[in-house]
Amino acid sequence: MKYAAFLPLSALIALLLISVLVHFGVIPPGMSILESLQGNMQNGFFFIIFLIILLESIIYVGFYFPGQFFAVILVVGAKPSAMDVVYLTLCMVVAATLGSLINFMLGRASRKHSLKQGEQVEEKKTKLKHLLLAMIHINSLAFFMFSQGNQLKSPKVIGLAGFLNLPYYLLLIAGTAVLSEQVMAMAENTALLIGIVCIWLVIALVFDVKQHRGAKAAANT
């Protein structure tokens, strides 16, 4: 991917487009679809949780289905036993890991499509601090995994993210149980997401400008 600003710009466009379509009633809110799904599946609780997390973990799709905290609220509302929490956490981790795999392969496929015939690219390792930063939110992890695949990084990062998601989802369930639903819902606020993506875009633009200036200076020497 030539410019770092491409992903945040495309994310911002997708997020704004979805918001506009929902606002004018062209498409129903993703949350209402999830709630309808919940009401129509009395005996498929684990499948609902799995589907909610999987949908939100896929790049761009997650903007329409902000279901991570909705899923955790469902879990807490069901008053699960300690063993149920373990099973539900594993269910969420498997769904998020599958989403990471999908995003990684999409990124890798887009990069390989743009490579010249016979061109080889060395596989690079991922820095742990970058992965931990991306795991702040499931949407940021989706774009991170796409970027990793696009840069032809090692697929080991998918397994590492899955392993780190185990304590993450346990803490998420515990946090939702302690805090109010309104406070946890802040993480799914569209305006907040737009603000975060805008900050990401500004940082990426600064990075691109610096790279462009550095390349221009090197060409003039």
pTM of the model: 0.77
Digit-coded pLDDT (tens) for 71-91: 777 777 777 777 888 888 899
Q: What is the pLDDT of residue 111?
A: 83
Query: Are the C-beta atoms of 170 and 86 separated by less than 8 Å?
Result: no
Structure tokens at 19: 């918001």
| Contact partners, residue 134, CB within 8 Å, separation at least 6 | 140, 141, 143, 144, 145
Query: From residue 199, how far is each of 5, 182, 185, 193 by CA, in Å?
Result: 11, 24, 21, 10
- Round to whole Å and give the CA distance between 51 and 74: 13
Q: Residue 58: is its pLDDT beyond 90?
A: yes
Task: Kindly provide the residue ranges of all beta strands, DSSP E only, lying in the chain, ordered along the sequence.
Answer: none
Bigger pLDDT: 22 vs 122 = 22
The residue type found at 172 is L
- Round to whole Å and give the CA distance between 134 and 47: 26
144 — pLDDT class (breaks 50, 70, 90): very high
